[in-house]
Structure 1
Amino acid sequence: MIAAPKTIRPRGARAKRDLECQFAIREEFDLLTDLAERLGWHCDEIALGLLELVEDYVSVSRSGLTRGALPGSLSPASKTRH
């Protein structure tokens, strides 16, 4: 279960909240990646898929649109982890 933030977001507190967020979502992230691996996905495929989802999430969040509002946002790309 993902925990709610413990700290308010005042100026200069970003690094602390970033780490707090990473800690809060770590267990769910591990469950997701473990499940994907057990189902046969390679770690590189999982990483690239997650990167694409993160890019979509940031694009939608910054644009003020709702999720799923970007048509073709899950189209194949020629990206690598490096």
Structure 2
Amino acid sequence: MAPENISPLVVWLGSTESKDVTGRVFEVEGGKITVAEGWRHGPTQDKGARWEPKEIGPVVADLLAKAETPAPVYGA
């Protein structure tokens, strides 16, 4: 995940060639580019109003405890 390996993809994503690419996560390792698949909504908590920053920590901790363990990716 060295910057010199990632930067070409970042440059391309900032170009007009990538205009149809949105909502995707990429992993770059040397000369390999991978598209992460399987993104979906997991556990949710809706308080019905805007969150205050001080409220978010415990909520995220609870959501992460309920969520499936993610697949390991390079560097994880």
TM-score tier by shorter-chain length is under 0.3
| Greater helix content | 1
| Greater strand content | 2
| TM-score normalised by structure 2 residue count | 0.28
Structure with more contact order per residue of length (Cα contacts < 8 Å, sep ≥ 6): 2
| TM-score normalised by structure 1 residue count | 0.26
